[in-house]
């Protein structure tokens, strides 16, 4: 899967990302959600910049992951605007996120929870199984969501069609995604 992603050209990644952004913006679950968590893309992931801009254009609330190194703990912290991304720091994994000592941002589960989470991954199958990058951040976070009064948010994985497999390996603590969006779905 990593090789398939490396073989995808920049123009093709951009084409599929734009197509998925349009699918997301027209999606009923997106339109009906107010509190939305979305990942900030790494180069081998669907680019989420257009989705983030639309979240703010629609007056919705946007939350992004902050990963805690040496653990599988992740929080979803509120972005104040699309431009706020430029104030974030780059981690050793090359991911933009709020600084560890940034305590000014609202954490989604400390307040109203989330309606919708857009999830990244390495590979997916059509049954809703997701192969992540091995740390279990999203699975652990979804377990925390299930304990929140607002319950588990709807989850949509964003994938290049090259990431769709017949099956991906799963463990018992892996949480299936509700829906996978890709070019041919």
Instruction: List binding-site positions for substrate.
Output: 40, 45
Q: Which residues are annotated as a binding site for ATP?
A: 130-138
Strand locations in 4-53, DSSP E?
A: 35-37
Q: Which residues are annotated as a binding site?
A: 40, 45, 130-138
Residues 6 or more apart in contact with residue 162 via CB below 8 angstroms: 4, 5, 8
Per-position DSSP letters for 111-175, written without gaps between them: TT--SEEEE--SEEETTS-EE-SSS-HHHHHHHHHHHSTT-PPEEEEE--GGGEES-----TTPP
């Amino acid at each position: 899967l990593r090789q398939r992603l490396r073989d995808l050209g920049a123009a093709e990644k951009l084409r599929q990302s734009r197509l998925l952004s349009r699918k997301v913006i027209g999606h009923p679950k997106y339109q009906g959600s107010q509190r939305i968590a979305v990942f900030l893309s790494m180069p081998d992931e669907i680019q989420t910049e257009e989705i983030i801009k639309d979240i703010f254009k629609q007056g919705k609330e946007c939350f992004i992951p902050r990963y805690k190194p040496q653990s599988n703990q992740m929080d979803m912290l509120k972005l104040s605007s699309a431009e706020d991304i430029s104030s974030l720091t780059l981690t050793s994994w090359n991911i933009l996120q709020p600084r560890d000592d940034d305590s000014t941002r609202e954490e989604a589960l400390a307040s109203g929870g989330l309606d919708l989470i857009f999830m990244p991954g390495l590979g997916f199958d059509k049954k809703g199984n997701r192969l992540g990058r091995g740390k279990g951040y999203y699975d652990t976070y979804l377990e925390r969501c299930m304990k929140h009064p607002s319950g588990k948010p709807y989850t949509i994985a964003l994938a290049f069609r090259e990431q769709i497999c017949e099956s991906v390996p799963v463990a018992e603590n892996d949480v299936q995604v509700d829906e996978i969006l890709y070019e041919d779905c």
